[in-house]
Amino acid sequence: EPEVTQTPSHQVTQMGQEVILRCVPISNHLYFYWYRQILGQKVEFLVSFYNNEISEKSEIFDDQFSVERPDGSNFTLKIRSTKLEDSAMYFCASSEASGGPAIYGYTFGSGTRLTVV
Amino acid sequence: RKEVEQDPGPFNVPEGATVAFNCTYSNSASQSFFWYRQDCRKEPKLLMSVYSSGNEDGRFTAQLNRASQYISLLIRDSKLSDSATYLCVVIKAGTALIFGKGTTLSVSS
């Protein structure tokens, strides 16, 4: 079964540092997403990416965050100047294009646990 | 009012029991509805989409009531492996998923 792959599985960073979380979506998917889940809380939408641009973003996704699809396979989330409250599990997800998200939902990666110290 | 509300539980049931989870959503313009399952510290996995006519997948039955803005999930003949957190999810516009906080189910032998 096709998978969404995320690296690293766990990253520890010092407050104020920049981190880049990496994802390889399923190859024929065209919608890409980042979500986060703070421990004990609900999964929260950050941003969606389609046709090489951001299509939607939440209030959480401020100037501290950016996304990029640097080549044909990777999808990255950059967090500049990390804060303690950025500690969370970050999930990448992808979905098929033609009606995919609304019909088939998404496939999520196994996540990157970010710990800011 | 939260966008998606669920009873957090936990629901503790014996194997073989039938258990039902409920969910309400606040935005009447919501378009698509799902149940996801999340195991501890793992990613959410799609359990089933929810349609207005109701739909069934093996031991799982989902119902949607658009007038009441209410979604349900029924699990029959519970198995130990059903122990997880069940997430009610809607798409209100665009493609972003809006998650509830989840209902925890623990099935014991």
For the record, the structure tokens of B34 come out as: 């799902």
The DSSP output letter for B81 is G
Are B32 and A35 an interchain contact pair (Cβ–Cβ within 8 Å)?
no
A38: distance to nearest CA of chain B, Å?
11
Mutate to test the interface with B, among A21, A23, A32, A42 (most CBs of B within 10 A): A42
Q: pLDDT for B26-84, tens place per residue?
A: 988 888 899 999 999 899 999 999 988 889 999 999 999 999 999 999 999 999 999 99
The residue ranking higher by pLDDT, B53 or A37, is A37
- Among the partner residues B31, B49, B100, nearest to A42 by beta-carbon distance: B100
Q: Which residues of B52-87 are buried (b: 16+ CB within 10 A; e: fewer)?
A: eeeeeeeebbbbbeeeeeebbbebeebeeebbbbbb
Nearest CA to A114 among A25, A34, A24, A36?
A: A36
Q: Closest partner residue to A106 among B38, B97, B102, by Cβ?
A: B97
Q: How confident is the model at residue A90, as a pLDDT?
A: 98
- The pLDDT, as a whole number, for residue A71 is 86
Query: Per-residue pLDDT tens for A44-98?
Result: 999 999 988 999 999 999 999 999 998 878 999 999 999 999 999 999 999 886 5
Q: CB–CB of A35 and B97 under 8 A? A: yes
Query: DSSP assignment, residue A67?
Result: E
Q: Which of A55, A9, A2 is nearest to A29 (CA)?
A: A2
Give pLDDT, residue A101. 67
Question: B102 to chain A nearest CA, in Å?
Answer: 7
Question: Nearest-CA neighbor of B37 among B62, B14, B17?
Answer: B62
Q: Which run of H or E residues covers position B75?
A: strand B70-75
